[in-house]
A and B are shown apart, each in its own frame.
Chain A
Amino acid sequence: MTATDHVQAPAPAPGAPSRRREKGQAARPAMYIAKKVLALVVTLFVASLAVFFSRFLVPGDPARFLLRGRSPKPEALEEITRQFGLDKPAWEQYLNWLGGILQGDWGRSLTYRQDVSDVLLGRLPTTLQLVALAAVFITVLGLFAGIVASLNKGFGDRFILITLTAAGAVPPFVAAIALVALFSVGLGWFPSFGSGDGGWDRIWHLTLPALALGITYIAMVARVTRSSMNEQLLREHVEVATSRGLTRGSVVARHVLRNAMGPILTVSGVLVAGLLVSSAIIERTFGLSGIGQLLVQSIDRLDFGVVQAIVMVVVAAFVLVNTVVDLVQPLIDPRIAAGTESR
C-alpha cells in the first residue's frame, strides 16, 4: 500500500550483473541511496506544486478567497495581495512560497496574527508526543498480539484473528468514543479531555487518545506480524534451528521475528501518515491542542495559509518516512537492495 511498494519493477538492464562483478559491491549501496534520495526530492517538489496550485482551482478573485469570512475592506485586500504576492504571475508566487518554506518563512496566519511557523512549532510537541505514544502501543500490542496468534494454533489464533478483524474495522473516532465511554465515564480511570501538565500526567492524559489513534494500526501490525511469522515458521532454517535444540524463545526471536520484520517495516510508512492525519480527529475529540486540531480549526476559520503548510508537513513526513524505510530495509534484508536493480 505504500508508494514504494508498487513501484513497477524495471526491466533488468542488460549487462547489469556483469558490471556488478567488475565494480564490486561497494558502488551499489551508494547508487541505491542516491536513487532513493532523488526520488524523495522529486516527489516533494511535485507535491509542493500540487499543494500550492490547489488554490488556483477555486474560481474567482484569490484575494477574496483568502479573506473569506472576514470583512473585505480595501486595506485588508491590499494587505493580503501584498502578503501572498497576488499581483505577481503564478510561477513567481510559487517560487516565493517555496523559497519561503525552505527558509523557514511559512507566511502569516490570518487567525492568530502570528507567523505560521511559530503557530506550528507551538503545537508540534503535543502531536509528536501523541503519535510517539501511539507508536509505542502499536509496536508493543501489535507485535505481541501477532506473535501470540502465530504461536498458538487453533482456538487462540482464531480468537485473536477475529478480534483483530473487528478492531481493524473500528474507525479511530469511534474507538475514541468507545474508550471515553468505558474508561472515562464508566470506570473513571482516565481523563477524557485536555493534555495534562507534562511528565506522567501528560502520559496519563494521552493514553486514551493514543489507543484510539493506534487501534487500526495495532490490528494491522498484528495481522502482518502473524502472517509474516507463519510464513517464516514453515521455513527450513527455522526447522534446522529447532532441531539444533535451541529454545523456542530464541528461535522465535532470532530466526523467525528477524526475518518477519521486512513486511512489518514496510507498513510503517503508511502508518506514520495515517497517524498524523487521524490525529486531526483524535486531537479534536480529546481537546488536545496539536497540529491536527490546528488543521481542523484552520479549515473552520478559513485560514488557508495554515492549512497549506500543515498539508505540506504531513505529506513531507510521509514521503520522508517511506524513504527512510526504503533505506533501512537493505540493512535487515540485504537481498532488497540487490532486488530493486534486477528484480
Chain B
Amino acid sequence: MTLAIQLPQAGLRRYGSLLSPMAWGALAVAAVVVLLSLFAPVLAPYDPDYVDLNNVLAGPGGQHLLGTDALGRDLLSRLMHGGRTSLLGPTIVVIGSTVLGLLLGLVAGWSEGWLGKVLGRLFDLLFAFPALLMAMLAIALFGKGLFAPILAMTIAYVPYVARLAQSLVVAERSRPYVQAYRVLGFRTPWVVLGRVLPNLIPTVGAQSTLNFGYVLADLAALSFIGLGVQPPTSDWGAMIEESRGALLGGYILPAFWPALVVVLVVVAVNVIGEELSDRIGGKLS
C-alpha cells in the first residue's frame, strides 16, 4: 500500500521533473562538447596541428579514434581544439548583446516619452541588417578574423534582446509591485535594476540561448568561406572547408565530424532554449 500524499521529491529528482528528457539529453551533449573543448590542451590525444603524411585520411579506430584528415592530422584533437574558437565567438556575442540589449530595452521600456520611441525605431532599423550581412560589412571594414564579425554580430543581436526586454518592461511597469515601490518613494534606478531586471532574466535568457545557436552557425559559416578564423587557427567551419577536397574524393569523415558537432550543438542549444521559453510561457499564463 502506498500513500497518496504528494511530497516534494528530494535531491536531484526534483530537477529531473523540471526538465524534459530531451532537454536533459541536450544539456548532456552541450556539457560534453564544452568540457572537451575547454580541456582540449589536457585531453586531446595529439597535437591538433601535427602533420603525419604517412597516416593520411586514416579511418576511425586504432591510433586515431575519429581518423585523420588529408594532412594526417588527428581529427578528434582538431575537433576539441577547434571547439575552443567555435564556442568562444558565440559566447562573447551572446554576453555582449544580452547586456547591451537589456540596458537599452530597460531604458526604452521605462521611458514613456520620445526616448522610448526613438530607441524602438532604432531597434526596428537594426532588424533590417541581417547579422551575417553586418558581419561581412564589418570584415570588409576591419579585415578578416574573429574581431570584426564578433563586434558586428553583437550589435546585430542587440535588437532581439532589446525589443523583448522593452515589451517585458512595459508590461512590468504597470504591475502593482512597481506601483507600490514608486508610491513608497524608492528611486527609479533601484526599482528598475533591483526589482524589474530580475523578472526579465528568464525570458531574455531563453532568447539569448537561442541566439547562441544562430551566432555559432553564422560564425562557422564565415570561417567556412574563409572570411572568419584564419589559419593556422582553426574552428569547425574552417575544418569543413579544409576537408572539401577529401570529400569530393570520396572521404566523407573529415567533413562529417565537424558538421555533426555543429549540428549537434545547435540542436542542443535550440532544444534548451525552447524548453526554457516553454516553461516561462507556462508560468506566465
- Residues of A at the B interface (CB closer than 8 Å) are 1-4, 6-8, 43, 46-47, 50-51, 54-55, 57-58, 165-166, 168-174, 177-178, 180-181, 184-185, 192, 273-274, 277-278, 280-281, 284-285, 295-296, 298-300, 302, 304, 307, 311, 314-315, 318-319
Contact call A169/B133, Cβ cutoff below 8 A: no
Q: List 29 A-B contacts (CB under 8 A).
A: A3-B127, A3-B128, A6-B163, A8-B116, A8-B166, A8-B170, A46-B125, A47-B125, A47-B128, A165-B270, A166-B267, A169-B263, A169-B266, A169-B270, A171-B218, A171-B262, A173-B220, A173-B225, A174-B263, A180-B247, A277-B130, A278-B132, A278-B221, A296-B136, A296-B227, A299-B139, A299-B227, A307-B137, A314-B133
The CA of A165 and the CA of B156, in the complex, are separated in Å by 24
B106 interface residue per 8 A CB criterion: no
B259 interface residue per 8 A CB criterion: yes
B244 interface residue per 8 A CB criterion: yes
Q: Would A319 and B128 be within 8 Å (CB), given that A171-B266, A178-B259 are in contact?
A: yes
> Within B86-130, which residues are at the interface with A (CB < 8 Å)?
116-117, 120, 123-125, 127-130
Residue of A with least CB distance to B243: A177
Contact call A299/B250, Cβ cutoff below 8 A: no
The CA of A342 and the CA of B266, in the complex, are separated in Å by 40
A contact residues around B136 at 8 Å (CB): 280, 295-296, 299, 307, 311
**B interface residues, how many (CB within 8 angstroms):** 48
B contact residues around A300 at 8 Å (CB): 226-227
The residue that A43 contacts in the complex, of B124, B252, B255, with Cβ under 8 A, is B124
Interface centre among A6, A43, A178, A318 (most CB of B within 10 A): A6
Q: Would A165 and B271 be within 8 Å (CB), given that A6-B163, A171-B220, A314-B133 are in contact?
A: yes
B contact residues around A173 at 8 Å (CB): 220-221, 224-225, 237, 240
Closest 3 CB pairs of A and B: A171-B217, A3-B127, A169-B266
Min CB gap A40→B, angstroms:
10
A contact residues around B129 at 8 Å (CB): 47, 50, 315
> Within B201-232, which residues are at the interface with A (CB < 8 Å)?
213, 217-218, 220-221, 224-227
Residue of B with least CB distance to A39: B124
B contact residues around A185 at 8 Å (CB): 247-248, 250, 252
Min CB gap A9→B, angstroms:
10
B contact residues around A51 at 8 Å (CB): 137
Contact call B263/A166, Cβ cutoff below 8 A: yes
A contact residues around B244 at 8 Å (CB): 177
Please encode chain B, from 170 to 182, with 1 for each CB lying within 8 Å of some chain A CB and 0 for all others.
1000000000000
- 7 additional A-B residue pairs with CB within 8 Å, beyond A8-B170, A165-B270, A177-B255: A8-B120, A169-B266, A170-B266, A173-B221, A173-B224, A280-B132, A299-B139
The CA of A84 and the CA of B252, in the complex, are separated in Å by 48
The residue that A177 contacts in the complex, of B124, B140, B225, B259, with Cβ under 8 A, is B259
The residue that A281 contacts in the complex, of B130, B142, B224, B247, with Cβ under 8 A, is B224
The CA of A54 and the CA of B139, in the complex, are separated in Å by 12
Contact call B130/A58, Cβ cutoff below 8 A: no
B4 interface residue per 8 A CB criterion: no
A contact residues around B213 at 8 Å (CB): 169
The residue that B130 contacts in the complex, of A46, A57, A274, with Cβ under 8 A, is A274
The CA of A168 and the CA of B210, in the complex, are separated in Å by 12
Contact call A165/B267, Cβ cutoff below 8 A: yes
The CA of A273 and the CA of B133, in the complex, are separated in Å by 9
B141 interface residue per 8 A CB criterion: yes
Please encode chain B, from 252 to 279, with 1 for each CB lying within 8 Å of some chain A CB and 0 for all others.
1001100100110011001100000000
Contact call B141/A57, Cβ cutoff below 8 A: yes
Q: Would A177 and B141 be within 8 Å (CB), given that A6-B123, A6-B163 are in contact?
A: no
Min CB gap B102→A, angstroms:
16
Min CB gap A107→B, angstroms:
15
Residue of B with least CB distance to A46: B125
Min CB gap A323→B, angstroms:
11
The residue that B133 contacts in the complex, of A43, A46, A174, A277, with Cβ under 8 A, is A277
The residue that A6 contacts in the complex, of B124, B130, B137, B217, with Cβ under 8 A, is B124
Residue of A with least CB distance to B258: A174
The CA of A50 and the CA of B170, in the complex, are separated in Å by 29
Min CB gap B24→A, angstroms:
16
Min CB gap B59→A, angstroms:
16
Residue of B with least CB distance to A172: B221
Contact call B140/A307, Cβ cutoff below 8 A: yes
B contact residues around A55 at 8 Å (CB): 141
Q: Would A281 and B225 be within 8 Å (CB), given that A165-B270, A174-B262, A177-B259 are in contact?
A: yes
Min CB gap B259→A, angstroms:
5
B contact residues around A273 at 8 Å (CB): 128, 130, 133
Interface centre among A1, A4, A299, A318 (most CB of B within 10 A): A299
Residue of B with least CB distance to A181: B252
The CA of A166 and the CA of B167, in the complex, are separated in Å by 30
